[in-house]
């Protein structure tokens, strides 16, 4: 995907999954690569165990910090049902990367089934990731967000060194190597497509 | 030399203040404004504080400005209600060093109890207001606000919104402009607003507004962007970026200053196009001002007055192409926010729920106790109302009602305005049982220290309020103040029973550190050790 147009990546999940960190890494990588970048998210009350999202847009010149409905090139979700919550955002035929991770909302007993079928029904380019595979590949459950980012990187026109600089800079203190390793593993792994 | 950074709107405002040579920053945490002061605090040469509330914060910043320093006060929209009192009269006295009041509105109420439009305050207090659209503008407008403040001898309001404060974009930064501080100087007729002098300053305010109204036609932030088409759009702030997204070629009058408005520019722009859209979130503020000039524009008849705008809303309002939506056959359960697992407040809420008490509540993380599985908070109005509304219930129903009613708030809220309510109850001989949920921090807004935490904004140790002595000073009996652990359910329940049965004004402090704070502190210790 070469980016003469603005690239829109929507990252979603549940509070505590590292969505915001991954979004920051993507933004900084795009900036390192010389793009104009905008990112949008909401902090505060909604973060306490609620749905979390992060819009990242980059290209020659970006206007809105928010991705318009139907224009996300890639929807990345770190939680299964959260993927469906953003169903209106992917562009026609857009890529959806879904980590098959199930986190039950409080007070809900039955996890909704058929997320994948539903996404495919709408003609989206659906790609599924298994948390266990990523944990096994990276050796840590803590860096799954960055491993997923490594997979996303495969679909974006951002050079390797721009990514590495961003991941190292934004990894929590003392975890740069761990996160770089997770990113690398993600980058070279294609799982369960 | 200019360097580029990727900054949020809030980080950019802090950067702008730093570059403008700001010496003092004060405010009270409130989403979405909190990170401004948190960031300003980290710059060299700037003294900052978390004030106990927004009124105090603005007064402190005003004092710094009277000493000739540039000063910044920060707050969320509802915080400006608290700070409105000093703001309205600071408009009369003017300043010596530049004074900028940053207010962050929350269209869509992502993290707020109301959706008020702070632009109305600019008109009401007769203060100029700037509104940036992205992080670069957030930084630039902050610096411009200081210039306007000093040139026109006025506090200036910088208005942000959640979307601006929490979005990030690329910002060119420069060096700090260091400024000398002339120091406090006596000038009684200008700074002492007894009626005799206030009447004179009242005239100065009108004269200032007249000059600003004229000058803002030439102000670079009020910008005419030529384009194609038979309609023109007047807008400002974040909605401007949505217009540019959806209608890249449309002619736009972008208003960086939303009060006062550039009449000449607006008239010129409106004369050029058949149809003029005024595009603004929340109230028809610009629309009404422009209509008052006798111009016919299309505003709230095409765009909602409720909630946050999106690119889709902008497109729809102007008759653009609607995006296709997709219908899902799978029904998704909502995922509302909730009290964190292990949150020390959970136990208290279990007790309040099981005892079926009327809980007069307040604002913070603990407001989530109103949701299932607790449903144990029955009012939320404003900061400090947990204690005072309970007193109204007693006034109406008599002291017997206080046997099954409690007033409740967190530690930061207690310091913000709860103490005044407590003193009011003591003075007026009320019989309420009050509860403070003390988790050692201002958790909702991201763990800021407060007067009960023993730490200041930069983490350095300080005094912390002694609940017992405070209550004693208010005239309460020491025996009516109980401090218990949040992890001892039996003790909390037993103490609450005793206090409710006692029928006396009493304070129950339930202490247990915020889990997020605890985790952060443990992590810091590990990092320090390893």
pLDDT 10s digits, B219-245: 999 999 999 989 999 999 999 999 999
Quick one: pLDDT at residue A193? Answer: 39
B321: confidence class by pLDDT, cuts 50, 70, 90: confident
Q: How far is A128 from chain B (nearest CA, A)?
A: 18
Quick one: pLDDT at residue B335? Answer: 87
A176 interfacial to chain B (CB closer than 8 Å): no
The alpha-carbon radius of gyration of chain B (Å, integer) is: 25
Quick one: pLDDT at residue A191? Answer: 42
CB–CB contact A46 B530 (8 Å): no
B246 interfacial to chain A (CB closer than 8 Å): yes
Quick one: pLDDT at residue A15? Answer: 85
Count of A–B CB contacts within 8 Å?
Answer: 150
Contacts of B235 in chain A (CB under 8 A): none
Q: Which residue of chain A comes nearest to B331, CA vs CA?
A: A112
Backbone φ and ψ for A55, nearest 5 degrees, come out as -90, 125
Residue A90's DSSP bridge partners are A72
Domain ranges of chain B: 3-215, 222-317, 345-521
A47 interfacial to chain B (CB closer than 8 Å): yes
CB–CB contact A63 B248 (8 Å): yes
Option in B110, B246, B340 nearest A46 (CB): B110
Q: How far is A185 from chain B (nearest CA, A)?
A: 26
A139 interfacial to chain B (CB closer than 8 Å): no
For B:190-229, CB contacts with A below 8 A are none
> Quick one: fold of B222-317?
Rossmann fold (3.40.50)
Quick one: pLDDT at residue B402? Answer: 97
Quick one: pLDDT at residue B258? Answer: 97
Contacts of B326 in chain A (CB under 8 A): 87-88, 122
A60 interfacial to chain B (CB closer than 8 Å): no
Quick one: pLDDT at residue B1? Answer: 52
B4 interfacial to chain A (CB closer than 8 Å): yes
B376: confidence class by pLDDT, cuts 50, 70, 90: very high
B77 pLDDT higher than 50 = yes
Backbone φ and ψ for B22, nearest 5 degrees, come out as -55, 135
CATH code, domain carrying A48: 3.40.920.10
B276 pLDDT higher than 80 = yes
Option in A44, A51, A70 nearest B111 (CB): A44
Query: Do B3-215 and B222-317 fold alike per CATH?
Result: yes
Give me the mean pLDDT over the B346-360 stretch: 97
Option in B6, B325, B333 nearest A27 (CB): B6
Report the number of distinct structural domains present in chain A. 1
- B327 vs A85, A88, A102, B311, B332, CA distance in Å? 11, 8, 22, 20, 12
B340: confidence class by pLDDT, cuts 50, 70, 90: confident
Return the ∠ at Cα B445 (arms to B439 and B451), rounded to 5°. Answer: 50
Q: Output the average pLDDT for chain A.
A: 91
Total count of residues recorded for chain B: 530
DSSP state of A174: T
Please report, to the nearest 10 degrees, the dihedral formed by the alpha carbons of residues A79, A83, A84, A88 taken in order. Answer: 160
- In 3D, which of B38, B13, B321 has the Cα closest to residue B168? B13
Q: Which residue of chain A comes nearest to B247, CA vs CA?
A: A63
b/e map A56-67, b = 16+ CB within 10 Å: bbbbeebbbbbb
The DSSP H or E segment spanning B259 is: strand B257-259
Give me the mean pLDDT over the B85-106 stretch: 98
- In 3D, which of A36, A44, A25, A23 has the Cα closest to residue B135? A36
CB–CB contact B169 A44 (8 Å): no
Contacts of A107 in chain B (CB under 8 A): 372-373
Quick one: pLDDT at residue A190? Answer: 52
Give me the mean pLDDT over the B274-283 stretch: 97
Q: Output the average pLDDT for chain B.
A: 96
Which residue range forms the structural domain that includes residue A60? 7-104+112-188
pLDDT digits (tens, 9 = 90+) for B282-316: 999 999 999 999 999 999 999 999 999 999 999 99
CA distance B170 to B8: 9
B3-215 CATH: 3.40.50.970
Please report, to the nearest 10 degrees, the dihedral formed by the alpha carbons of residues A150, A151, A152, A153 taken in order. Answer: 50
Quick one: pLDDT at residue B528? Answer: 76
CB–CB contact A92 B324 (8 Å): yes
The DSSP H or E segment spanning B266 is: helix B263-272
pLDDT in tens, chain A (193 residues): 445 699 999 999 998 899 999 999 999 999 999 999 999 998 666 566 788 999 999 999 999 999 999 999 999 999 999 999 999 999 999 999 999 999 998 888 999 998 888 888 999 999 999 999 999 988 888 899 999 999 999 999 999 999 999 999 999 888 999 999 999 999 987 543 3
Quick one: pLDDT at residue A45? Answer: 60
Option in B312, B340, B365 nearest A68 (CB): B312
CB–CB contact A64 B368 (8 Å): no
Contacts of A118 in chain B (CB under 8 A): 328-330
Q: How far is B31 from chain A (nearest CA, A)?
A: 6
A173 interfacial to chain B (CB closer than 8 Å): yes
CA distance B282 to B298: 15
B345-521 CATH: 3.40.50.970
pLDDT digits (tens, 9 = 90+) for B14-54: 999 999 999 999 999 999 999 999 999 999 999 999 999 99
Quick one: pLDDT at residue A69? Answer: 96
Helix/strand/coil for B108: coil
The DSSP H or E segment spanning B473 is: helix B467-474
CB–CB contact B168 A81 (8 Å): no
DSSP secondary structure, A110-133, as one string: S----HHHHHHHTT-EEEEE-HHH
Quick one: pLDDT at residue B529? Answer: 76
Q: How far is B515 from chain A (nearest CA, A)?
A: 12
B90 pLDDT higher than 90 = yes
Return the ∠ at Cα B45 (arms to B42 and B49), rounded to 5°. Answer: 60
Quick one: pLDDT at residue A46? Answer: 55
Give me the mean pLDDT over the B333-353 stretch: 91
A85 interfacial to chain B (CB closer than 8 Å): yes
Q: B263 with B291: CB under 8 angstroms?
A: no
Q: How far is B486 from chain A (nearest CA, A)?
A: 20
Residue A1 in domain? no
């Amino acid at each position: 995907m070469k980016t003469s147009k603005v690239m829109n990546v929507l990252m979603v999940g549940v509070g505590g999954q590292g969505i915001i960190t991954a979004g920051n890494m993507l933004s900084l990588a795009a900036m390192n690569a010389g793009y104009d970048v905008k990112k949008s998210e909401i902090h505060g009350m909604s973060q306490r165990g609620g749905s979390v999202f992060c819009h990242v847009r980059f290209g020659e010149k970006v206007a809105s910090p928010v991705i318009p409905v139907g224009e996300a090139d890639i929807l990345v979700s770190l939680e299964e049902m959260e993927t469906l919550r953003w169903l209106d955002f992917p562009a026609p035929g857009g890529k959806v990367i879904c980590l098959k991770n199930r986190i039950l909302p409080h007070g809900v007993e039955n996890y909704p089934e058929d997320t994948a079928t539903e996404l495919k029904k709408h003609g989206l380019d659906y790609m599924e990731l298994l948390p266990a595979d990523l944990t096994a590949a990276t050796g840590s459950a803590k860096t799954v967000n960055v491993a997923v980012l490594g997979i996303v990187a495969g679909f974006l026109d951002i050079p390797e060194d721009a990514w590495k600089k961003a991941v190292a800079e934004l990894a929590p203190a003392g975890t740069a190597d761990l996160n770089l390793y997770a990113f690398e593993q993600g980058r070279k792994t294609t799982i369960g497509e | 030399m200019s360097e580029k950074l990727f900054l949020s709107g809030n980080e950019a405002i802090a950067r702008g203040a730093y570059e403008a040579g700001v010496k003092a920053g004060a405010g009270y945490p409130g989403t979405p404004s909190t990170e401004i002061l948190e960031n300003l605090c980290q710059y060299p040469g700037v003294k900052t504080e978390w004030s106990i509330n927004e009124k105090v914060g603005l007064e402190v910043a005003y004092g710094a400005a009277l000493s000739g320093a540039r000063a910044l006060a920060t707050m969320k929209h509802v915080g400006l209600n608290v700070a409105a009192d000093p703001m309205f009269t600071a408009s009369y006295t003017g300043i010596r060093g530049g004074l900028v009041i940053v207010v962050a509105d929350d269209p869509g109420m992502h993290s707020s109890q109301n959706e008020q439009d702070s632009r109305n305050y600019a008109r009401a207090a007769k203060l100029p207001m700037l509104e940036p659209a992205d992080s670069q503008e957030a930084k630039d407008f902050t610096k411009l606000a200081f210039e306007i403040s000093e040139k026109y001898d006025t506090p200036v309001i910088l208005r942000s919104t959640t979307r601006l404060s929490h979005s990030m974009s690329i910002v060119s930064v420069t060096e700090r402009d260091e400024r000398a501080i002339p120091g406090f100087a006596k000038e009684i007729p200008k700074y002492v607003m007894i009626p005799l002098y206030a009447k004179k300053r009242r005239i100065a305010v009108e004269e200032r507004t007249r000059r600003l109204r004229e000058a803002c036609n030439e102000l670079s932030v009020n910008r005419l962007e030529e384009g194609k088409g038979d309609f023109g759009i007047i807008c400002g702030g974040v909605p401007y970026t949505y217009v540019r997204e959806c209608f890249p070629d449309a002619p736009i009058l972008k208003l960086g200053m939303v009060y006062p408005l550039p009449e000449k520019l607006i008239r010129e722009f409106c004369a050029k196009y058949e149809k003029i859209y005024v595009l603004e979130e929340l109230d028809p503020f610009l629309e009404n001002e422009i209509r008052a000039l006798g111009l016919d524009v299309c505003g709230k008849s095409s765009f909602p007055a409720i909630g946050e705008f999106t690119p889709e809303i902008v497109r729809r309002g102007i008759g653009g192409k609607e995006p296709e939506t997709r219908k899902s056959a799978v029904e998704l359960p909502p995922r509302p926010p909730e009290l964190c697992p292990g949150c020390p407040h959970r136990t208290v809420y279990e007790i309040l729920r099981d005892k079926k008490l009327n809980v007069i509540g307040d604002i913070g993380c603990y407001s989530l106790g109103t949701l299932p599985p607790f449903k144990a908070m029955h009012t939320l109005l404003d900061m400090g109302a947990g204690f005072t509304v309970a007193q109204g219930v007693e006034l109406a129903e008599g002291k017997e009602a206080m046997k099954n009613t409690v007033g409740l708030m967190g530690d930061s809220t207690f310091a913000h305005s709860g103490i005044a309510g407590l003193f009011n109850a003591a003075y007026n001989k009320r019989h309420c049982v009050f509860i403070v949920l003390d988790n050692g921090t201002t958790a909702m807004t991201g763990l800021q220290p407060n007067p009960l935490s023993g730490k200041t904004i930069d983490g350095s140790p300080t005094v912390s309020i002694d609940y017992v002595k405070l209550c004693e000073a208010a005239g309460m009996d020491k025996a009516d103040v109980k401090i218990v652990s949040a992890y001892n359910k039996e003790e909390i329940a037993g103490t609450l029973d005793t206090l409710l049965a006692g029928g006396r004004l009493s304070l129950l402090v339930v202490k247990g550190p915020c889990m997020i704070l605890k985790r952060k502190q443990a992590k810091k210790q590990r990092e320090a050790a390893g």
